Structure 1
Amino acid sequence: MRYACRPVGLLSRSDPISRFDVADVQRFYPRGRPPQPATFDWSFTMNLLGVLPYWQLGPWELGPLTLHSFGLSVAIGVALALSILGSRGQKILGVSGDRMQNFGMWLLIFGWCFSHVFEVVAYQPHIILEDPLVLFKVWGSISSVGGLIGGVIAFLIWRVRNPYEDHIGWSNVAAFTLPIAFFFGRIGCALVHDHPGADATNFVVWEWIRSIFGDSLPEVWPLALQYPDGVPRHDLGFYEAIIFFFLTLFVLYKGRKPQRRGYYLWTLPLLYAPFRFLFDFLRVTPGEAGLHGDTRYLMLTPAQWVAIGMFILGLFLWSKLRNEPLETWKGLEKSTSDDEEPESSSE
């Protein structure tokens, strides 16, 4: 009988026992007592994990300018998303990159302005009475779900003004770039911690996991951040950055080949909405621990109500678009035909 000849705490191996292995057995185990099959002790590894530190980057002073990490991250995301929008629109729809980027800028500007209006109306309606002009101060606070609603409204306006375009194709390309832009936006949120969550000390999900795997796991949820008030808290911007990272990988993987027309219009809402709905249960209420919290309506945040609508919209679009044919990448077909023309003429 062969035994894994390494001390407990290391992974076993299946190669035959050598002289060195026998020496290991004699050194680590009493004479006449065969070693037990090796197991991996997770306690050392998991104890390396714990509450994350409260990181913070910026702002940076560049002469008369002040560069903030949130703004820098958002700018990178917008530039990258517009670049991908232009190249992908040209490849799939056969539309010039400039037209696609102009389309993206229209969605972005309208969505950004509406995100501020939604933030004020839904989350801070009391300040409208104090200063009605706050609705026009679009450089102020914004709401990501408000931006999504604004983007949809902007697309509907564009659709009326461009009745003969491929509406499913254009909107599908725009939806493809959303996770990329939002990933960098949420990275910016995580860098400035503008979405503090509730106390993570007795996080029910982590307590359930520890009840299964034992007390070798850290006592506190290892993705919590140690906030300056000394409390380990959920950081919702950080959590959503993780979700959008995986959604970005998803679209980049799926985008290598043609999908059904409108594929991203229904898959992304169905994938994102449940996470957003659940995450908002971890947000603080207004005034809790001196933090800026989220207003509730019938025990749900505005974003949770939007997430419900988003999920229903995803189901509706799935029912309408699931039998659509595969995309025809017109830009690739055009470039291929252009390459073949000289050959046919030479014959």
Structure 2
Amino acid sequence: MLEALIPYLRPPEKLIADLPVIGPLKLQFFGPLVAAGVILGYHRCLHYAKRKNIDEFIARDMMFWVLVTGFVISHWVSVLFYFPEDVAANPLVLIMVWNGLSSVGGFFGALVGMIWYLRKMKQPYLVYVDMLMYGLLVGFTMGRLGCSLVHDHPGSIVDASHILAVGPWPDGQYRLDLGLLEFMYLVPITLYVHLVYNWEKARPGVLLGTVALLYAPYRFILDTMREKDKLYLGLTTAQYSTLIILAAGIYLVFIRKPRPEDNEWARDSDRAAREQAAKAAAPPAG
């Protein structure tokens, strides 16, 4: 029998502190990769904003709130829907944002933060959600690389000769690593969007819709390969979410018609012109 082509490797980790009630804080490969993904994704969002002439100050402020709500709600969805027994045992796990994240929860949390901020600033949604998706692809791909390194998404048991088998795992079995499979799929999507897709000329919302159509069916299938998960009427929380994502993609790409207000976002050039005019009108110092 052939051995797995992909060995199960556990990268080193360092215990930073063992805190009372909260428990151990560890430095793992996953954390730095997620941090690097956030930083790179943030800068790709700013690149998008510059090319689309989006007010840089609004873009930066919105991304701050998106990160806050995205990480918090991502953690809440993870522990409440996947590990409710942990919450029952220790309710403080709800504030341990570093201890478990859900990707679909992160999408929903980011949406909450974005809508709240853009309503406050009286801005249209679609160009900003395209901007977030443009940067999110980079950060999300790096996050999935981290998942594949720490093996926190075990999949179905397969024969060791399977071309995508990872193993042996600590229990001696050979499995599919769902984090690795998602990372392998996200890389070409990210490269396509950033290097091939003509996002500068696409109408607002189509970039998001295109990525949703590419991602949702694959993620739905991946969740059928989970070793064990909590099911609600036969589907996982992520599968229900991917059905919503797929429906949104169909609507944005094939059904929704362009609206004049879609293009009425705050322009960076207008802000710069106002600042220049205010500076010219100001009385000279002294």
TM-score range relative to shorter protein: 0.7 to 0.9
Alignment of 1:202-221 (within 5 A): 220-221=161-162
Please give the per-residue CA displacement for 1:183-206, whole angstroms capped at 9, x wherever unaligned: 0000000111111111022xxxxx
Unaligned runs of 5+ in 2: 17-24, 273-286
Aligned equivalent of 2:163, options 215, 222, 233 = 222
Q: 1:66 to 1:324 in 2, by over 3 A?
A: same
Q: What TM-score does the superposition give when structure 2 sets the normalisation length? A: 0.80
Moved more, 185-194 or 172-181: 172-181
Q: Which residue number corresponds to residue 44 of structure 2?
A: 84
**1:311 is matched by which residue type in structure 2?**
L
Q: 1:257 to 1:99 in 2, by over 3 A?
A: closer
Question: How many residues of Structure 1 are paired with residues of Structure 2 in the alignment?
Answer: 260
Please tell me whether Structure 1 or Structure 2 has the larger radius of gyration of its CA atoms: 1
1:268 equivalent in alignment to 2:211: yes
TM superposition shift of 1:117: 0.9
Please give the per-residue CA displacement for 1:245-294, whole angstroms capped at 9, x wherever unaligned: 11111210215642222111211111111011000111111xxxxxxxx2
Aligned equivalent of 1:246, options 172, 182, 188 = 188
**1:301 is matched by which residue type in structure 2?**
T
Q: Percent identity?
A: 32
Aligned equivalent of 1:134, options 85, 89, 93 = 93
Moved more, 122-131 or 104-113: 122-131
**2:209 is matched by which residue type in structure 1?**
W
Which secondary structure does the structure 2 equivalent of 1:282 belong to? coil
Alignment of 1:155-304 (within 5 A): 155-163=114-122, 165-201=123-159, 220-226=161-167, 227-252=169-194, 253-255=196-198, 257-285=200-228, 294-304=229-239
Which secondary structure does the structure 2 equivalent of 1:175 belong to? helix
1:105 equivalent in alignment to 2:59: no
Q: 1:244 to 1:167 in 2, by over 3 A?
A: same
Contact 1:263 1:322 in 2 (8 A): no
**1:119 is matched by which residue type in structure 2?**
S
Q: 1:324 to 1:234 in 2, by over 3 A?
A: farther
**2:174 is matched by which residue type in structure 1?**
P
Aligned equivalent of 1:151, options 110, 129, 138 = 110
Q: Which residue number corresponds to residue 290 of structure 1?
A: none
In structure 2, distance between residues paired with 1:168 and 1:124: 34
Q: 1:66 to 1:296 in 2, by over 3 A?
A: closer
1:52 equivalent in alignment to 2:6: yes
Larger RCO (alpha carbons 8 Å, 6+ apart):
2
Which secondary structure does the structure 1 equivalent of 2:7 belong to? coil
**1:105 is matched by which residue type in structure 2?**
F
The two structures, once aligned, show a CA RMSD in angstroms of 3.1
TM superposition shift of 1:60: 5.7
Alignment of 1:317-336 (within 5 A): 317-321=252-256
Q: Which residue number corresponds to residue 6 of structure 1?
A: none
Q: Which residue number corresponds to residue 345 of structure 1?
A: none
In structure 2, distance between residues paired with 1:171 and 1:85: 10
TM superposition shift of 1:90: 2.0
Which secondary structure does the structure 1 equivalent of 2:175 belong to? strand
Moved more, 183-192 or 139-148: 139-148
Q: Which residue number corresponds to residue 71 of structure 1?
A: 31
Unaligned runs of 5+ in 1: 1-46, 202-218, 286-293, 336-347
In structure 2, distance between residues paired with 1:112 and 1:86: 20
TM superposition shift of 1:130: 2.8
Contact 2:76 2:94 in 1 (8 A): yes
**1:183 is matched by which residue type in structure 2?**
T
Which secondary structure does the structure 2 equivalent of 1:254 belong to? coil
In structure 2, distance between residues paired with 1:324 and 1:233: 48
In structure 1, distance between residues paired with 2:10 and 2:180: 12
Contact 1:261 1:327 in 2 (8 A): yes
Contact 1:273 1:310 in 2 (8 A): yes
Q: What TM-score does the superposition give when structure 1 sets the normalisation length? A: 0.67
In structure 2, distance between residues paired with 1:328 and 1:259: 15
